[in-house]
Amino acid sequence: MKDDNSLANGGEPPSDHRLQSLKGFHSAGRGFWRDVPAADWNDWHWQLKHRITMPEQLQRFMPTLTPEEFAGAKLANHKLALAITPYFFNLIDPLDEHCPIRRQVIPRIEETRTASWEMSDPCGEDSHSPVPGLVHRYPDRVLFLVTDRCAAYCRYCTRSRLVSNASGYDFHPEFDKPIAYIAQHPEIRDVLLSGGDPLLLSDEKLEQLLGRLRAIPHVEFLRIGSRIPTFLPQRITPELCAMLKKYHPLFMSIHSNHPRELTTEVRDALGRLADAGIPLGNQSVLLKHVNDDVTVMKAHIQKLLMCRVKPYYLYQCDLISGSAHLRASVRQGLEIMTQLRGYTTGYAVPQYVIDAPGGGGKVPINPDYILSHNADRVVLRNYEGKIFEYPEAPDGTPLSSPPKEIEAPQMI
């Protein structure tokens, strides 16, 4: 298969064939598991039980595994475990070493190399944790880490110090202390369940947790952050959706990085969540040779809208140890944003952010659309590079007539 990233920004326009392969919806298919009964294949427990977790297994399923990948897979279980669901594995193009799906889940030896500016806790979560498993960084909301397990493991995971429990971090998720903290802090009106992946909990356990949080009067708003709709769409059962809809307002942030992750299975799973009244947003990470290309990014965000998902954040890849080989530059991120804003539906355009190293929180990063801002006017650049003036009264109060020295807005 053709490398989706062979055309960098400013390169040749994509061929119709390439665009179609990015935009169309296709099933992941069964691949090596073609003899597995459909009832098993569509059972999320079967998918979890048959995950690829060992280097030898990976090599057997993918003889084109490179020495760098095999070495990475050998060392992964000391850092961030290797695990790939059969469903997601089938999205990998084994003939393409640079396959954007492959780069996200197959370890490489480069993960063992740490740049001097990389960290094990790049967002400073541990220093903002009043009780184990809870991060309270912003005034009115908390991050509640309800599990340390995921359906599959992303090689750039910002929380790789604790997810999969491979590095000896010794994290033991528990509910009582975080819930007691939330109950004692009336300023907390928004709780984001994350981990690990909360949708790995059984329906019963998740319902118990949501029920306890809903019973706290000042908790207005619940959110779940999950990669499961893309790693394991089989988990999004009608029963799960029927349970979740009892706890509104409940939003979900999914995680997808490339249009090929949005299969017919994922589209249908997201449709079930949307039909349950759950507003869906997507969080992507800008990744080298995965989505650092405006054609790929635009196809992805447009396809997300077709799946009833609002592209929410595009993250600059955090400075997590061993991720340099996956990190695209801020310059590339800004260039992509410049080529999205105005060129496609505003709903499709995510907010590009950097999670400030050390715990400063998300900082929005935007191309420069304000060229100058004086007491009486703002000079703006639009998406086409045209310049406009927006006059305003010096003290901000509306005037019955515009100040004489300011002309009506005009294109310069």
Annotated catalytic, 141? yes
Annotated catalytic, 318? yes
Least distance from C-beta 151 to ligand SF4, angstroms?
A: 7
Under the criterion CB under 6 A, does residue 52 sit at the interface with ligand SF4?
A: no
Site size with ligand SF4, rule: CB under 6 A: 11
Side-chain-side CA neighbours of residue 101 (13 Å)? 23
By beta-carbon proximity to ligand SF4, the closer residue of 227 and 377 is 227
* Cβ 304 vs Cβ 348: under 8 Å: yes
E-strand spans in 110-168?
Answer: 134-138, 141-145
Q: Binding to ligand SF4 (CB under 6 A): which residues in 236-295?
A: 255
By beta-carbon proximity to ligand SF4, the closer residue of 183 and 324 is 324
Q: Distance from CA of residue 350 to its chain's centroid?
A: 11
Annotated catalytic, 99? no
Under the criterion CB under 6 A, does residue 88 sit at the interface with ligand SF4?
A: no
Q: In which order are the strands placed within the sheet that holds 387-391?
A: 370-373, 377-381, 387-391
Annotated catalytic, 140? no
Nearest-5° Cα angle at 105, 101 to 106 = 100
Q: Binding to ligand SF4 (CB under 6 A): which residues in 153-172?
A: 153-154, 157, 159, 163
Q: What is the dihedral of CA 215, 219, 221, 226, to 10 degrees?
A: -80
What are the structure tokens assigned to 347, written together?
């709903």
Contact characters 209-228, ligand SF4, x per CB under 6 A: ------------------x-
Instruction: Reduce the DSSP state of residue 224 to 3 states and report it.
Output: strand
User: Among the candidate windows 39-47, 87-95, 151-159, 242-250, which touches ligand SF4 by CB under 6 A?
Assistant: 151-159
The closest alpha carbon to 160, from 202, 105, 115, belongs to 105
Least distance from C-beta 32 to ligand SF4, angstroms?
A: 23
Side-chain-side CA neighbours of residue 138 (13 Å)? 15
Annotated catalytic, 214? no
Q: Which of 148, 197, 293, 318 is catalytic?
A: 318
C-alpha to C-alpha distance for 288 and 97, rounded to whole angstroms: 13
Least distance from C-beta 155 to ligand SF4, angstroms?
A: 8
Annotated catalytic, 159? yes
Annotated catalytic, 157? yes
Least distance from C-beta 19 to ligand SF4, angstroms?
A: 28
Among 196, 229, 233, 259, binds ligand SF4 (CB under 6 A): 196
* DSSP at 79: T
Q: Which of 30, 74, 310, 362 is catalytic?
A: 362
Q: Which of 99, 123, 150, 241 is catalytic?
A: 150
Type and span of the H or E element at 351: strand 351-356
Least distance from C-beta 396 to ligand SF4, angstroms?
A: 43
Q: How many CB atoms lie within 10 A of CB 116?
A: 4
By beta-carbon proximity to ligand SF4, the closer residue of 157 and 349 is 157
Please list, in sequence order, all residues whose beta carbon lies within 8 angstroms of the beta carbon of residue 394, skipping any fewer than 6 positions away: 375, 376, 403
By beta-carbon proximity to ligand SF4, the closer residue of 200 and 337 is 200
C-alpha to C-alpha distance for 304 and 242, rounded to whole angstroms: 23
Least distance from C-beta 352 to ligand SF4, angstroms?
A: 18
By beta-carbon proximity to ligand SF4, the closer residue of 61 and 153 is 153
Instruction: Reduce the DSSP state of residue 113 to 3 states and report it.
Output: coil
What are the structure tokens assigned to 229, written together?
């709709």
Q: Which of 121, 148, 293, 355 is catalytic?
A: 355
Q: Which of 2, 138, 343, 347 is catalytic?
A: 138
Annotated catalytic, 23? no
What are the structure tokens assigned to 87, written together?
């469903």
Give me the residue label for tokens 């750039």. 156
Under the criterion CB under 6 A, does residue 150 sit at the interface with ligand SF4?
A: yes
User: Among the candidate windows 40-48, 70-78, 193-201, 387-395, which touches ligand SF4 by CB under 6 A?
Assistant: 193-201
Q: Which of 99, 154, 241, 307 is catalytic?
A: 154
Question: What string of DSSP letters covers 299-335?
Answer: HHHHHHHHTT-EEEEEEEPP-BTT-GGGBPPHHHHHH
Least distance from C-beta 296 to ligand SF4, angstroms?
A: 19
By beta-carbon proximity to ligand SF4, the closer residue of 148 and 389 is 148
Kindly tell me the burial class for residue 5, based on how many C-beta atoms sit within 10 Å of its own C-beta (0-12, 13-18, 19 or more): buried
Residues lying near ligand SF4 in the complex (CB under 6 A) are found at 150, 153-154, 157, 159, 163, 195-197, 227, 255
Q: Which residues are catalytic?
A: 137-138, 141, 150, 154, 157, 159, 318, 355, 362
